[in-house]
Amino acid sequence: MTLLAVERIKLFSTRSPWWCMALALGLMVGFAALISGSAENASSVAVPVTQFGFTFALAVILVLATLSVTTEYRFNTIKTTFQAVPSRTSALLAKTTVVAVVSGVLGLIAAFGSLGVAMLLQPDANLALNSEADWRQIAGTGLVTFFAAVVAVSVGILIRHTAGAVSVLLAYSLVAENLVQLIPRVGGDIHQWLPFNVANRFLTGNPDVAIAFEGPGQSTSTLTPWGALAYFAGFSVVMLIIAIVTAKKRDA
């Protein structure tokens, strides 16, 4: 518990996490307000529409999680951390846990906040969470941002430089996965198993009803929604294990 408290203090003692949290929340809620407020009629505003800004908010959350690690390497405070805590595994797990929980709660607040704003602007719209798919699209956002933060922390540990880690994460999550589909013959098959595409399957996938989704991009994954979440969670854990093993083998 002491390590968790220390990591919490370190995270919130700088300005960048606060700015990132405000920006992520503002982007997601702002897009929901913009789309809901400009809708021609209430029938065009559904639960998925309120989550249009998720991709933009997720990008900011990835930056937040990455900075939590790379900032320590930049200012060499990571050396002090490893000196104070002989077990690098414990220190890095504590940091990952704090950042992931904060990211998960932030994602949850942003999702419900977006839904709430849409309800205020379009009170006649059908925005009730009446199905498992509706709940997954809203409450599931917190789970996706939780595991996405684990991936971002892992990349930060591996690369250690802010510019490099942020560039890799944003380029991969926003561009590279979609570009894979352009590879002749095998591109589509590979894309089905890429992590962020699979994570979108959890949020948007509904095996029972075909829905038009305007939030996170429709996924090409063939996994069930909960199977997709398990896959994404497993990927994040593997990334973290690789990052911790690497951190233990090299100098701080």
Going from N- to C-terminal start, the domains of the chain cover 2-249
End-to-end CA distance of the chain: 24
Return the pLDDT at 205: 73
Predicted confidence band at 207 (pLDDT cuts at 50, 70, 90)? very low
**Res. 139: pLDDT tops 80:** yes
pTM of the model: 0.91
**Res. 34: pLDDT tops 80:** yes
Residue range 184-189: mean pLDDT, rounded: 90
Cα 186 to Cα 49, 192, 193, 194, 228, distances in angstroms: 32, 10, 12, 13, 20
Tell me the pLDDT tens digit for each residue of 217-237.
578 888 999 999 999 999 999
Among the residue ranges 53-62, 140-149, 179-188, the one predicted with the least confidence is: 179-188
Return the pLDDT at 144: 97
Return the pLDDT at 56: 94
**Res. 25: pLDDT tops 60:** yes
Tell me the pLDDT tens digit for each residue of 84-102.
887 889 999 999 999 999 9
Return the pLDDT at 216: 59
**Res. 50: pLDDT tops 80:** yes
Query: What is the C-alpha to C-alpha distance for residues 83 and 15, in angstroms, rounded to an integer?
Result: 25
Return the pLDDT at 210: 43
